[in-house]
Chain A
Amino acid sequence: MLTDILIVLAIMVLGIGIGLLIGNKPKIIKIVGTLTSFSIFLLLFLLGIGVGTNNKIINNLHSIGIQALVLSTGAILGSLICAWLTYKFFFKTKA
């Protein structure tokens, strides 16, 4: 698994290098943006197929939804509290 992760990160770094070389070429940037959207669509489509054929997930969709909601609540609430502290101590006086 570690090798897979390193491959993925290396590919991203390679991409950043290519991107820096390409620089400010609006046409290419637009194409890259479109391709990015399509690869996201493809991946989510594939994930959908994987989930649809995975009985373990389908039989537990209800509980998966609740778990997702609980985790979103935790992530949002935690972020709000930390951001409130940061705002109070570092940003408010300036504003």
Chain B
Amino acid sequence: MKGSFIILGFFILGLILGLTRFLPSSLLEGDFSIYALYLLMLLVGIGIGTDRNAWKVVREVNIKIVLVPLSVIVGSLLGVSAFSALLSNISIGEAMAVGAGFGYYSLSSVMITEFHSETLGVIALLSNIIREIVTLLATPLFVKYFGKLAGIAAGGATAMDTTMPIIVRYSGKEYAIIAVFSGIVLTVLVPIIVPVILEFL
């Protein structure tokens, strides 16, 4: 939760500087963000590669566990597709790109900004931050009505870190490994699924 506020803080700081035009125009017009994205992707990759825990979890799991991230993928994409009917200026494809962030707001919003548009990037940022915050606040309720996988499902990619404590608290310790597994799989898939959806828009 603290992390999301810091990130939101940087976004708002940039927003204010942009609004007030309090920056040299070279910085405003130059497009550095694609290089920053390259750097981030390299670091994200190194992070995945060095994560012993991640590889260990993947080796230890039984096949049934794969159904958990799969449910999150299918559920998120169907859910946003259905709800996009309420929004006149969002196509199903655009809604799916936002939904495919699975709560991983930093990476999904940046990719959507780079490969589609800033407007949809901001929607992805807000939507996926809301997903994390709602999971943190409402997991007890979700678990009560939707079973013990509910917190993991709502948390999506964040189930491996920020929302894990609350998931374990309300679903039990035996669900920690499922949460980590599902979170890792979704985190790795975000940078693959989001661009694939954008490509087919």
- Which residues of chain A have a CB within 8 Å of any CB of chain B? 1-2, 4-5, 7-9, 11-25, 28-29, 32-33, 35-37, 39-54, 56-58, 60, 64-65, 67-88, 90-92, 95
Contacts and interface: CB of A to CB of B under 8 A. Distances in A.
B49 A19 contact: yes
B185 interface: no
B199 A25 contact: no
Contacts, number: 313
Contact of B149 (A2, A45, A91): A91
A48 B75 contact: no
B196 to A, nearest CB: 8
A51 to B, nearest CB: 6
A78 B33 contact: no
B127 to A, nearest CB: 4
B71 A70 contact: no
Interface string B105-134: 011011101110011011111111011001
Contacts of B3: 37
Contact of A48 (B15, B38, B46, B191): B15
A15 B75 contact: no
Contacts of A57: 118-119, 122
A19 B54 CA distance: 12
Contacts of B135: 76
B177 interface: no
Given A15-B44, A22-B46, A39-B36, A79 B14 contact: no
9 contacts: A12-B41, A32-B46, A46-B36, A47-B113, A71-B84, A74-B80, A75-B79, A76-B131, A86-B149
